[in-house]
């Protein structure tokens, strides 16, 4: 097992990883930008190294500075968390070349699954259902239009190297296709430096259901339940829950089997998430694979009682998974709400500033993952998420009530938040009935849900 791990991230996920390391007797190294000199992860780690100014490209995306910090402090491994360099195959490769273990899949697998069009081809070969669409990358609008005519509208235009909702546009007809293709491709170039695109038949207002898997280097792959992430805005998830209220156990088991098959098809090792779109008839299709830990991983941890980050570290150290598939049990229902410093009534505009006072909820079955505290400065440089509230209860109705109580109890003074907005969603009849799909938030904001 490792003696010392560097966490190449910030915020609540850095704190989450530090806590897992502490429980395993592993020392930690935090890295931070000058804007984060008073961040909680800096105080909690055994050592901390400043790696640059506030801009992510100069700090948390500064590969040379991060590897230098790891080697200089004697780390054996690096945990990238989510976002930033977590799915950067160049970073994973350079870790390996510098004698550092990257706590995640190999750079080759990151490349294979990170390119969405290549991942589609791999899934087709493995027999995992995919949304009808193109089989190769597209670069020109004319050739893409010809392919779109064969698929039929509405069309989802996606960046091959995409993620986080960037480089995605829906074309409703041939009339708007060229414009939507150009916008999506421009976003892809700006965000990923890649103009490769692919097309899929757009499934109107589907459910977004994902399966958590973890695999070791000894050939063991298991699924750890499903998560319904359909409550989202502009492809950004807001509320996640497990299990999904939409699918039955027969469909659920098929999802689990195909998720494991997908991981096996690419020789996957470590934690990953297979994301599916599910249509109104409960037909499901592979969407993409996230080759990292997810923001919503606590939902899975609460319902399975498996410490996912701990398993990631063990697997990276070459150990076998601590449990087999027949020892995975689902306990009740879990829900996560992301609390952001933003103003929903102003188009979800970020609300940076100082948190003057904060009270976090608690009690049986309530977990809060956060890196904020009284006097903490929410800066404009990074993601606006300041906390995640996760609850677990015997059933979905009880979980909703427990989350409502937690949101009502939470107090944040000094910055605007989406607390009231999240609370209103939980009181909505459509959500409570399990009827929220990916178009729910848009209808909810118009008063139509």
* Predicted confidence (pLDDT) per residue in 217-238, tens digit: 999 999 999 999 999 998 889 9
**Would you say residue 16 has pLDDT above 70?**
yes
**Would you say residue 163 has pLDDT above 70?**
no
pLDDT score for 121: 87
Which pLDDT tens digit goes with each residue over 362-409? 999 999 999 999 999 999 999 999 999 999 999 999 999 999 999 999
Based on the structure, what is the number of domains in the chain?
3
Residue 173 lies in a domain: yes
pLDDT score for 116: 76
Annotated catalytic residue, options 207, 252, 292, 396:
292
Residues 306 and 273 in one domain: yes
pLDDT class of 77 with cuts at 50, 70, 90: very high
Q: For residue 326, what is the domain's CATH number?
A: 3.30.470.20
What is the extent of the structural domain holding 159? 141-201
Residues 363 and 318 in one domain: yes
Q: For residue 8, what is the domain's CATH number?
A: 3.40.50.20
Q: Which two tokens stand for residue 362?
A: 């608690």
Residue 110 lies in a domain: no
3-state secondary structure the chain: CCCEEEECCCHHHHHHHHHHHHHCCCEEEEEEEHHHCCCHHHHHCCEEEEEECCCHHHCCCCHHHHHHHHHHHCCCEEECCCCCCCCCHHHHHHHHHCCCEECCCCHHHHHHHHCHHHHHHHHHHHCCCECCECCCCECCHHHHHHHHHHHCCCEEEEEEEEECCEEEEEECCHHHHHHHHHHHHHHHHHHHCCCCEEEEECCCCCEEEEEEEEECCCCCEEEEEEEEEEEEECCEEEEEEECCCCCCHHHHHHHHHHHHHHHHHCCCCEEEEEEEEECCCCCEEEEEEECCCCCCHHHHHHHHCCCHHHHHHHHHCCCCCCCCHHHCCCCCEEEEEEEECEEHHHCCEECCEECCEEECCCCCCEEEEECCCCCCEECCCCCCEEEEEEEEECCHHHHHHHHHHHHHHCEEECCCCCHHHHHHHHHCHHHHCCCCCCCHHHHHHCCCC
Q: Is the model's pTM score more than 0.95? A: no
Residue 163 lies in a domain: yes
Last residue in a domain, options 54, 73, 103:
103
pLDDT score for 164: 62
CA 316 vs CA 79, 304, 311, 415: distances in Å = 10, 21, 8, 39
Question: Residue 71: phi, psi to the nearest 5?
Answer: -70, -40
Last residue in a domain, options 176, 201, 226:
201
Residues 31 and 80 in one domain: yes
CA dihedral 312, 318, 323, 324 (to 10 degrees): 110
Which pLDDT tens digit goes with each residue over 234-287? 888 999 999 999 999 999 999 999 999 999 999 999 999 999 999 999 999 998
Residues 263 and 392 in one domain: yes
- Is 233 catalytic? The answer is no
Report the percentage of the chain scoring pLDDT > 70: 99
Residue 119 lies in a domain: no
Residues 392 and 424 in one domain: yes
Residues 356 and 211 in one domain: yes
Q: What is the mean pLDDT of the chain?
A: 95
pLDDT score for 117: 76
Last residue in a domain, options 151, 173, 201:
201
Q: For residue 190, what is the domain's CATH number?
A: 3.30.1490.20
Residues 197 and 216 in one domain: no
pLDDT class of 136 with cuts at 50, 70, 90: confident
Which pLDDT tens digit goes with each residue over 278-320? 999 999 999 899 999 999 999 999 999 999 999 999 999 999 9
pLDDT score for 268: 97
Residues 405 and 307 in one domain: yes
**Would you say residue 162 has pLDDT above 70?**
no
pLDDT score for 193: 86
Residue 172 lies in a domain: yes
Arithmetic mean of pLDDT, 56-80: 97
Residue 114 lies in a domain: no
Residues 275 and 419 in one domain: yes
Residues 156 and 244 in one domain: no
Which pLDDT tens digit goes with each residue over 172-200? 999 999 999 999 999 999 888 899 999 99
- Spatial distance between the Cα atoms of 420 and 40, rounded to a whole number of angstroms: 26
Residues 360 and 415 in one domain: yes
Residue 75 lies in a domain: yes
Residues 390 and 295 in one domain: yes
pLDDT score for 132: 87
Residue 377 lies in a domain: yes
Residues 6+ apart with CB under 8 A from 424: none
């Amino acid at each position: 097992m490792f003696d010392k791990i560097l966490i190449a991230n910030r915020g609540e996920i850095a704190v989450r990883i530090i806590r897992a390391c502490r429980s395993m007797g592993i020392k930690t190294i935090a890295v931070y930008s000058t804007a984060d000199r008073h961040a909680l992860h800096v105080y909690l780690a055994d050592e901390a190294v400043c790696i640059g100014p506030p801009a992510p490209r100069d700090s948390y995306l500064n590969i040379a500075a991060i590897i230098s910090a790891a080697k200089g402090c004697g780390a054996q491994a690096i945990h990238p968390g989510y976002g930033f360099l977590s799915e950067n195959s160049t970073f994973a490769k350079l870790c390996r070349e510098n004698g550092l273990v990257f706590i995640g899949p190999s750079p080759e697998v990151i490349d294979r699954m990170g390119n969405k069009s290549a991942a589609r081809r791999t899934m087709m070969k493995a027999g995992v259902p995919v949304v009808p669409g193109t089989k190769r990358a597209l670069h020109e609008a004319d050739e893409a239009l010809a392919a779109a005519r064969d698929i039929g509208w509405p069309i989802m235009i996606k960046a091959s190297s995409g993620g986080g909702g960037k480089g995605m546009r829906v074309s409703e007809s041939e009339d708007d296709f060229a414009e939507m293709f150009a916008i999506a491709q421009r976003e892809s170039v700006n965000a990923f430096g890649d103009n490769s695109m692919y097309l899929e038949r757009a499934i109107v207002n589907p459910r977004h259901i994902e399966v958590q898997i973890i695999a070791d280097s000894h050939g063991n792959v298991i699924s750890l339940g499903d998560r319904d992430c359909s409550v989202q805005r502009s492809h950004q998830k807001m509320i996640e829950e497990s299990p999904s209220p939409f699918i039955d156990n027969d469909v659920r088991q098929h999802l689990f089997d195909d998720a494991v098959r997908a991981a096996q098809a690419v020789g996957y090792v470590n934690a990953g998430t297979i994301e599916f779109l599910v249509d109104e008839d409960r037909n499901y299709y592979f969407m993409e694979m996230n080759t990292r830990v997810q923001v919503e991983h606590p939902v899975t941890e609460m319902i399975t009682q498996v410490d996912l980050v701990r398993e990631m570290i063990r697997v990276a150290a070459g150990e076998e998974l601590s449990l087999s598939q027949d020892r995975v049990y689902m306990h009740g229902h879990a829900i996560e709400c992301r609390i952001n410093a933003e103003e929903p009534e102003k188009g979800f505009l970020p609300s940076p500033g100082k948190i003057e006072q904060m009270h976090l909820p608690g009690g049986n079955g309530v977990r809060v993952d956060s890196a904020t505290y009284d006097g903490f400065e929410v800066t404009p440089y990074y993601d606006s998420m300041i906390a995640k509230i996760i609850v677990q209860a015997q059933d979905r109705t009880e979980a909703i009530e427990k989350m409502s109580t937690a949101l009502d109890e939470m107090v944040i003074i000094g910055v605007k938040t989406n607390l009231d907005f999240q609370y209103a969603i939980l009181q909505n009849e459509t959500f409570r009935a399990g009827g929220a799909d990916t178009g729910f938030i848009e209808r909810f904001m118009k008063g139509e849900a």
